[in-house]
A = this chain, B = another copy of it.
Amino acid sequence: MSLIGLATDFGDSVYVGEMKAVILARAPAARVVDLFHSVSPQCVLEGAFLLSKSWPFFPEGSILVAVVDPGVGSDRRILAVRAHRRTFLAPDNGLLSFISKSDVEDMRVVENRSFFLPHVSATFHGRDIFAPVAGALAKGTPLAKLGRRTSAPVRLSDLSPVRRAGGLEGKIVHVDRFGNLVTNLSTRHAPRAIVAGRRRFRSAVRTYSDAPEGRPVILKGSFDTWEIVVKNGSAAHFLKLPIGSPVRQELS
């Protein structure tokens, strides 16, 4: 039976509990794992980044359900995508930006109401559509039954950095519970410097314990991107750079 990962901006809330109840009522043997719920309310960029980095740790055959959904109840579509030997279920708002066209084995618009809860609210599709559809998928329902094939998902323009003269323009895409500021600048590129706000970081430390006390530094984070951190402190508190803030990587 499939492993189902839940990724939302619902925080610690009854909304996640209701989704799990609906999934398990449909697929009693499914295993449901909380992937994350701490995305800033309605921040699709942060959700897309975290999902793009964490899905590979799920085994093949897993179902990843992502609900960061400010457009709930509007005419935004819901997508079910088979890619990378896993199934992704998400609103078509950029959450699945990391899936490139060539990765897609099958992509469907979720529209077959026979898989939804009998009463669908206008404000909580996580419970009324995503959860019962995930339960159906876990029980082996073929993707093709969910709706018509489609091929053009919405993509976020700012999930990946863009090349500018002499470097890369990226963003802060996640602030973790330690206050580390996570960028989308890949650590594959050794930077000459990283510029965030009015600060310029020239040399990186390797671990948190190598960092000086009370001063922001950069390191290679566990998402394989550059992070700004303060040892025994919060870089978020120190630098006051919210998610979406630009960061620049000067390449040598």
Chain B residues within an 8 Å CB radius of A35: 14, 17-18, 21
Chain B residues within an 8 Å CB radius of A221: 121, 123
Most buried by B among A22, A28, A42, A209: A209
Nearest B residue to A36 by beta-carbon distance?
A: B14
Q: Interface size of A by Cβ–Cβ distance < 8 Å? A: 61
Query: How many angstroms from the CA of A50 to the CA of B41 in the assembled complex?
Result: 20
Q: Does A214 contact B (CB under 8 A)?
A: no
Chain B residues within an 8 Å CB radius of A17: 5, 7, 33-36, 54
Q: Does A78 contact B (CB under 8 A)?
A: no
Q: Report whether A73 and B127 are in contact in the complex, using a CB–CB cutoff of 8 Å.
A: no
Given A35-B21, A59-B25, A207-B123: A41 and B73 within 8 A (CB)? Answer: no
Q: Report whether A15 and B59 are in contact in the complex, using a CB–CB cutoff of 8 Å.
A: no
Point out residues on A near B: beta carbons under 8 Å.
3, 5, 7, 10-18, 20-22, 24-25, 28, 31-38, 41-42, 50, 53-54, 57-59, 62, 70-74, 121-124, 127-128, 176-178, 206-210, 219-222, 224, 227, 232
Query: Closest 10 interchain pairs by CB?
Result: A73-B207, A124-B222, A11-B177, A17-B35, A21-B57, A14-B36, A25-B59, A12-B38, A74-B209, A121-B222
